[in-house]
A and B are shown apart, each in its own frame.
Chain A
Amino acid sequence: MNLPEREAAVRRMLERTPPPVPPDLHAEVVRRGSRMLRRRTTARRLLWLVLLAAALAFTIWASVARPWVEPPSTTTPPVSDW
């Protein structure tokens, strides 16, 4: 038996007795699929919320702490009366 014949024989074996499709399949699929979608939406919202909160916290901290301002010198005494 050559390859195409063998393949055809195996195909015929595989095609035998298709299983019956359960009638409530579509409803179940839609139920699970919409739950998946809902969860994804929730997760995305949560992620955005965390991102925004982090950005806000950083802005507030930066405006209060002003890390870009040179700190006042602690070694040289301030120069006065000269």
Chain B
Amino acid sequence: MRERHASRGARRAREFEEFVAGAAGRLLHAATLLTAEAPDDNPRARRLLTLALAQTYASWDRLRGEDPYDRARQHLATRFARGAWHQYGALGRHRPHSASVLADLSPQERLVLVLRLYEGVAEEQTAALLGLPTERVRTICARAMATLLHPPREPAPSVPGAKVAPS
């Protein structure tokens, strides 16, 4: 009994290691896009990914045939949404200025865009995951795509010299 238990544990550890080796690159890229950090300096994305994968590890035995990648992505998305909510008050106010391509987007736009286009999750599933109506997901995605393809001319007024005194 004990031997069987140990061998099952070893197999589980091996399976999980293979899963992490296969999925970590793509999930880390998604997390880095979510946090809008530079690809070579992404402490928040790493932390997000570590916690999401740890959650996946903890629920590994209760997957029951479900795709672990889906589960890990779900953990990642909900964790990011919750974190963004706590950090910025509501999804959508704070816009970091960094080297990421998604720096101009709000956290919610980034989340929808990454899930829809980078991860290829269907509109309905994205809506269910985020608790939004499907039309809203479509709108957010269209807006985010428009911002990305036609970036606003004026960079955000955080440059010190660019302040204009009101007359």
Contact = CB atoms under 8 A, between A and B. Distances in A.
A66 interface: no
A69 interface: no
Nearest to A17: B39
A17 B49 CA distance: 18
Interface string A1-30: 100001101110111111111100110111
B25 interface: yes
Chain B interface, >50% SS class: helix
B145 A6 contact: yes
A11 B45 CA distance: 20
A16 B53 CA distance: 23
Given A7-B117, A19-B28, A34-B57, A26 B39 contact: no
A34 B56 CA distance: 11
Given A19-B42, A33-B57, A13 B21 contact: no
A17 B50 CA distance: 20
A21 B25 contact: yes
Contacts of A26: 17, 20-21, 24
B55 A36 contact: yes
B129 interface: no
Interface of A: 1, 6-7, 9-11, 13-22, 25-26, 28-30, 32-37, 40
13 contacts: A11-B118, A14-B113, A14-B117, A26-B20, A26-B21, A28-B50, A29-B20, A29-B50, A29-B54, A30-B16, A32-B51, A33-B58, A36-B54
Interface of B: 13, 16-17, 20-21, 24-26, 28-29, 32-33, 39-40, 42, 45-46, 49-51, 53-58, 60, 101-102, 113-114, 117-118, 145, 148-149
